[in-house]
């Protein structure tokens, strides 16, 4: 009987090794899937009431299951009046970014997950992505104007991701 149990254990160990060698941990790992997921994030972004910038984020686990979505907007129960939305300082102070909303509303653990965002993460969202255990980030390649406007923050974002071992994939824009 012990001999039989040993063979089962060996078989399970072997199977586990094969799975480790063949299973990718980057769940959204092909251009086709990245474009599809980015399209989903863009669709979610349409829910934002921000008159100037609509950002969406979707999170997938390692098996490509959607575990969350979020868009930039005010906290639940906070009135998003036109006065607040059109006053830039007030709007920026009240707005939760899409990444944070997606992390907060996740329905499953995020360790090893992939987040797909319509825009590059700011340095604060990058820190939250890292802290949540997300390992892969996909976003649309930003325009030159966006890069010039947010250069310093983008440098912090990339530095944090590099230090924490989070991969970043930029998808060609439309």
- How far apart are alpha carbons 168 and 47 in whole angstroms? 25
User: Does residue 35 carry a catalytic annotation?
Assistant: no
> Cβ of 127: how many Cβ atoms within 10 Å?
16
Q: What is the DSSP letter of 141?
A: P
Query: CA 18, CA 155: separation in Å to the nearest integer?
Result: 38
Q: Which of 16, 26, 99, 174 is catalytic?
A: 99
Q: Which of 114, 126, 172, 131 is nearest to 150 (CA)?
A: 126
Q: What proportions of the chain, in percent to the nearest 5, are helix, strand and coil?
A: 50, 15, 35
Q: Are strands 56-60 and 114-117 parallel, antiparallel or unpaired?
A: antiparallel
Q: Are 3 and 140 in contact (CB under 8 A)?
A: no
> Which residues are the active-site residues?
99
């Amino acid at each position: 009987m012990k001999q039989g149990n040993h063979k089962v254990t060996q078989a399970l160990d072997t199977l586990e090794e094969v799975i480790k060698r063949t299973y990718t941990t980057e769940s959204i790992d092909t251009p086709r899937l990245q474009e599809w997921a980015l399209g989903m994030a863009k669709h979610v972004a349409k829910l934002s009431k921000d008159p100037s910038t609509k950002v969406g984020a979707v999170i997938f686990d390692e098996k490509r299951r959607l575990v969350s979505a979020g868009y930039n907007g005010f906290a639940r129960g906070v009135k998003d009046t036109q006065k607040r939305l059109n006053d830039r300082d007030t709007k920026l102070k009240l707005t939760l970014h899409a990444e944070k909303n997606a992390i907060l509303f996740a329905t499953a653990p995020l360790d090893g997950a992939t987040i797909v965002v319509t825009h590059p993460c700011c340095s604060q969202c990058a820190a939250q992505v890292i802290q949540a255990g997300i390992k892969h980030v996909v976003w649309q390649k930003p325009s030159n104007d966006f890069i010039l406007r947010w250069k310093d923050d983008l440098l912090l974002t990339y530095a944090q991701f590099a230090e924490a071992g989070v991969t970043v994939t930029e998808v060609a824009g439309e």
